[in-house]
């Protein structure tokens, strides 16, 4: 058994109580009972929710971890200055969205929140701190942050990069058993000491050989590369799904055969309506922007294609619905099952459902949405933004339903956009009886039993599967 140096009295603070800050810090608190962990945020509503029974994010297993530590060595607060002053290690897990305006708009990372957090730290810190980049940031951000921190000239800061690799919906198991923990730092004595201190925190539960120490730039770049490679796999199999439909091959069979090659591996080869989530597109675009800035247009173009392919896949899915419904969906009711970007999360950021819904609204369809976890207000926010309409206008086309059966009642078609397990358990005989005839199913996740659906009487389209002869494609 490897011994871990005692970290009794160590104080950790995390700025940003979101999808990353909340779960990662809760796991540290759980695994390191002698360490005090304080998570702070500018949003009082978010902090109130973390202090309540109704946590601000849905993540399987999270509630149990939070309630085991909260009030003991895990605290949520809006007192950012106090938390900074007390802490030995300050994680920064604020949002780093794609820039909407200015130089690099639509591609580069918007580091406004990061810089504000860094300036706050520089202003109030009085004793040396280890500042950890937890947010995903462009390469060389640590250098800029270090300049901001040291600008105040009050104390010493060691800036580390420690990107997070958790996936939503499986955050707790990912954190409990990570493939690796990556820590990048300056390779001088102080930087090495800071890296060792952080490594000792993780060593409470992560085997040492899975804690990788490297230089800052490699660490920052590795995070963008990991997400770009993952997204690239999804776009690759989605591209092949179009070839399968054109040729009569079955994408799941192809993925199985290809994935059994141990050099390729079986994960992330599930064809879908398109990837979503707050990070894949943002991080690829960030990599594209960096490549352009480094004068590497061919590399930029190569990775940009991953995003283009994703847009193509979403549009292809909508096209199948429109052509399948005899070239018009105007006034037709479409049940959209799932609004989250994947199952087991209530997160809708960049969800394929948003684009599918926007396109159906443009075609003047009546869309009935059901998702087991997404908050109603979130759907309205997403759709008003995506469609550039006000809520009343969106509501002329969209209704939100309490369950899948209600969404499907009188619908011409059902479109599955999120792979929630409960959609597999629906009583499809009952669903069929309530739908307009002919009744269509568009399975954007390939989770349903298509043969049984066809036996019941549905006309079925599934991503990358041989086309149903009854499906109109003209």
**Which one of 62-70, 89-97, 183-191, 304-312 is the stretch in contact with ligand NAI (CB under 6 A)?**
89-97
Closest by CA to 413, choosing from 322, 335, 331, 326, is: 335
CB of 65 to ligand UGA, least distance (A): 18
Spatial CB neighbours of 121, under 8 Å, sequence gap ≥ 6: 15, 84, 90, 129, 131, 149, 157
**Helix axis angle, 297-324 relative to 216-247, nearest 10°?**
40
CB of 212 to ligand NAI, least distance (A): 16
CB nearer to ligand UGA: give 90 or 171: 171
SS3 content of the chain, % helix, strand, coil (to 5): 45, 15, 40
How many residues bind to ligand NAI according to rule CB under 6 A? Answer: 26
Give the residue, chosen from 135, 162, 353, 439, that forms a contact with ligand NAI under the rule CB under 6 A. Answer: 135
Known binding residue 349? Answer is yes
CA angle 466, 470, 471 (to 5 degrees): 70
Our finding on whether 137 is near ligand UGA (CB under 6 A) is no
What count of other Cβ atoms lies within 10 Å of the Cβ of residue 133?
A: 26
Considering only residues 312-341, where is the footprint of ligand UGA by CB under 6 A? 341
Distance CA 1, CA 133 (A): 30
CA torsion through residues 240, 241, 242, 243, sign:
positive
Contacted entry of ligand NAI, ligand UGA, none for residue 73, CB cut-off 5 to 8 Å set by kind: none
Could you say which DSSP state residue 193 is in? H
Q: Is 401 marked active-site?
A: no
**Secondary structure E strands in 238-282:** none
Give the residue, chosen from 136, 310, 348, 366, that forms a contact with ligand NAI under the rule CB under 6 A. Answer: 136
CB of 230 to ligand UGA, least distance (A): 5
How far separated are the first and last CA of the chain, in Å rounded? 66
Give the residue, chosen from 69, 93, 201, 230, that forms a contact with ligand UGA under the rule CB under 6 A. Answer: 230
Our finding on whether 279 is near ligand NAI (CB under 6 A) is yes
CB of 39 to ligand UGA, least distance (A): 18
Identified catalytic residue from 14, 32, 244, 279? 279
CA angle 211, 212, 218 (to 5 degrees): 150
Our finding on whether 96 is near ligand NAI (CB under 6 A) is yes
CB of 249 to ligand NAI, least distance (A): 33
Give the residue, chosen from 10, 116, 124, 467, that forms a contact with ligand NAI under the rule CB under 6 A. Answer: 116
Could you say which DSSP state residue 467 is in? P
Coil, strand or helix at 322: helix
Our finding on whether 272 is near ligand UGA (CB under 6 A) is yes
- Reported as half-sphere exposure (CB side, CA atoms, 13 A), residue 249 has a value of 15
CB nearer to ligand UGA: give 20 or 142: 20
Could you say which DSSP state residue 136 is in? -
CB nearer to ligand NAI: give 18 or 185: 18
The tokens of 431 are what? 């669903």
Distance CA 272, CA 266 (A): 15
CB nearer to ligand UGA: give 231 or 411: 231
- Which residues contact ligand UGA (rule: CB under 6 A)? 136, 164-168, 227, 230, 234, 268-270, 272, 275-280, 341-342
- Which residues contact ligand NAI (rule: CB under 6 A)? 15-21, 41-43, 46, 80, 93-96, 113, 116-117, 135-136, 164, 166, 168, 278-279
């Amino acid at each position: 058994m490897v011994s871990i140096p005692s970290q009794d009295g160590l104080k950790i603070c995390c700025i940003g109580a979101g999808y990353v800050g909340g779960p990662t810090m809760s796991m540290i608190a759980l695994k390191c009972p002698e360490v005090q962990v304080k998570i702070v945020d500018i949003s009082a509503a978010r902090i109130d929710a973390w202090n309540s029974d109704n946590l601000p994010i849905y993540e399987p297993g999270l509630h149990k971890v939070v309630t085991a530590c909260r009030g003991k060595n895990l605290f949520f607060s809006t007192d950012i200055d106090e938390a900074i002053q007390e802490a030995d290690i300050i994680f920064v897990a604020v949002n780093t969205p794609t820039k909407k305006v200015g130089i690099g708009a639509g591609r580069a990372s918007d580091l406004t929140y990061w810089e504000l957090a860094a300036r706050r730290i520089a202003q109030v810190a009085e004793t040396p701190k280890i500042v950890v980049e937890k947010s995903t940031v462009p390469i060389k951000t640590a250098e800029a942050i270090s300049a901001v921190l040291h600008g105040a000239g009050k104390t010493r800061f060691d800036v580390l990069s420690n990107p997070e690799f958790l996936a939503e919906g499986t955050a707790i198991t990912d954190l409990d058993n990570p493939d690796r923990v990556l820590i990048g730092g300056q390779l001088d004595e102080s930087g090495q000491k800071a890296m060792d201190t952080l490594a000792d925190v993780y060593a409470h539960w992560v085997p040492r050989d899975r804690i990788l120490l490297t230089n800052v730039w490699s660490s920052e770049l590795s995070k963008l590369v990991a997400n770009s490679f993952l997204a690239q796999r999804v776009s690759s199999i989605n591209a092949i799904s179009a070839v399968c439909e054109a040729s009569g091959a079955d994408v799941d069979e192809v993925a199985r055969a290809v994935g059994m090659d141990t050099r390729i591996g079986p994960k992330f080869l599930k064809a879908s309506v398109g990837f979503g989530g707050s990070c894949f597109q943002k991080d690829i675009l960030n990599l594209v922007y960096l490549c352009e800035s480094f004068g590497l247009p061919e590399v930029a173009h190569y990775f940009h294609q991953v995003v283009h392919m994703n847009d193509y896949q979403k549009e292809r899915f909508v096209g199948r619905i429109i052509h399948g419904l005899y070239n018009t969906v105007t006034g037709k009711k479409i049940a959209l099952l799932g609004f989250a970007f994947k199952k087991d999360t209530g997160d809708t950021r960049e969800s394929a459902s948003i684009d599918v819904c926007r396109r159906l609204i443009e075609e003047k369809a009546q869309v009935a949405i059901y998702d087991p976890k997404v908050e109603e207000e979130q759907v309205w926010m997403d759709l008003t933004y995506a469609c550039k309409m006000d809520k009343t206008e969106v509501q002329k086309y969209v209704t939100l339903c309490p369950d899948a059966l209600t969404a499907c009642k009188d619908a011409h078609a059902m479109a599955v956009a999120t792979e929630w397990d409960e959609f597999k358990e629906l009583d499809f005989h009952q669903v069929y009886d309530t739908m307009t005839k002919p009744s269509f199913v568009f399975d954007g996740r390939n989770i349903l039993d298509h043969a049984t659906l066809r036996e019941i009487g549905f006309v079925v389209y599934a991503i990358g599967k041989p086309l149903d002869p009854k499906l109109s494609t003209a």
